[in-house]
Structure 1
């Protein structure tokens, strides 16, 4: 059976790196975004989406199913979104709608980029929304749901002044920070590598067993684990 992957958030900091990784792993790579990736390969399919409110309709026209792994790196900041309401619509609603639509079409493995500190009971709005999304995704019922919780992402964030400033400050103290410290900032490429590696490991697990386990698995991979998984890639 040929392997497929579908990705939203493919033009973001981690998403761009993830697409490059997945392009080497899958026979077909489906990108759903407002604009196409800068580099398209023969196995990539691009579906332009002007409005994410129409995401479910767009997915209805795409051939995906049990042979497809779904990935989301979609996310924003409150400043970019403009309000709490718009932030939650992007980070929570769009991601959950994507997950539900994929599940309805038979997708069994879902990989989501969340954040360190995600907690539905957090007093911080950002962390609370991320935590609420994680809890809602568990209820969707994927055979494998994998949640990645990185710390501050290293890489150039277009339009994210505070994060870029934080990165510049971090560079001054980076030599003093242990490479596997739980909250150590992490390169976007390493997060993407951890996502791709985890997807491959799950694929190999099912390939060896020859069957899909009926027991639903929810795996949370935190920042420290991603640092350890990709230590040799730093």
Structure 2
């Protein structure tokens, strides 16, 4: 059986690492983005979408079915979006729309990049919207929904100077700080590693199961500390 994956948010900090890893793990990788990812190989099928309001139109032509795993690393900031409403549209509405389109095509496994402290009751917009997105996608009923909640992401990210400064500072001190601390920063590549490892674990667990039997929906949340642990290089 050909293994397929589909991803949105492929050009972001985590997404650009995840694209490369998924292309090496899956027989076919479908990328939906406004611009091509930096890394492209023969297994990739790129679909350009200039406006995510038209995502359903693009979806009509992609070959997604129950053999496909879906990944979302789509996200922005209020500053980039321009307003609270625009931020909510990108981080919540587009993600939920993508998830629903995947589910309608028979996708059973969904992997969502969220954030530490995601909480529908948070007084902070960013954390609240992340929490709402988790809640909305959890309610859809995927067979396997895995949510990843990283702390501060380390890596090069254009257009976010304050984050770049923070990353530089934390990048210098992080080797001196125990990874057992929940707020320890994590590299975007390690988050992508955790997402790929989780997808492979589910595949290995289910490949000999009866796919005609519908399992009860299951949601797994992988916090920052767990991602650091599962991606730690053993000496």
Question: What is the 5 A alignment of 1:154-169?
Answer: 154-169=154-169
Give a deviation string over 1:148-176, Cα, whole Å, max 9, x none. Answer: 00000000111011111111221343233
Cα distance between partner residues in 2 of 1:233 and 1:116: 25
RMSD of the alignment, in Å? 1.4
Partner of 2:187: 187
SS at match of 2:192: helix
In structure 2, distance between residues paired with 1:59 and 1:176: 46
* CA positional deviation for 1:81: 0.8
Q: Which runs of 5+ in 2 are unaligned?
A: none
CA-to-aligned-CA distance 1:185-213 (integer Å, 9 cap, x gap)? 00000000000000000001001334455
Q: Check the 8 A contact 2:68/2:107 in 1, yes or no.
A: yes
TM-score by length of 1: 0.97
Moved over 6 A (4+): none
1:190/1:233 contact within 8 Å kept: no
In structure 2, relative to structure 1, the CA distance for the partners of 1:4 and 1:217 (3 Å cut) is same
Indicate the residue corresponding to 1:222 in structure 2. 223
| Alignment check: 8 A CA contact 2:13 2:188 kept | yes
Moved more, 175-184 or 30-39: 175-184
Equivalents in 2 of 1:183, 1:152: separation in Å?
8
Q: Deviations over 1:85-111 (max 9, x none)?
A: 110000000000000011011111100
Which region of structure 1 is more displaced relative to structure 2, 38-47 or 210-219? 210-219
Unaligned runs of 5+ in 1: none
Q: Which residue of 1 aligns with 2:145?
A: 145
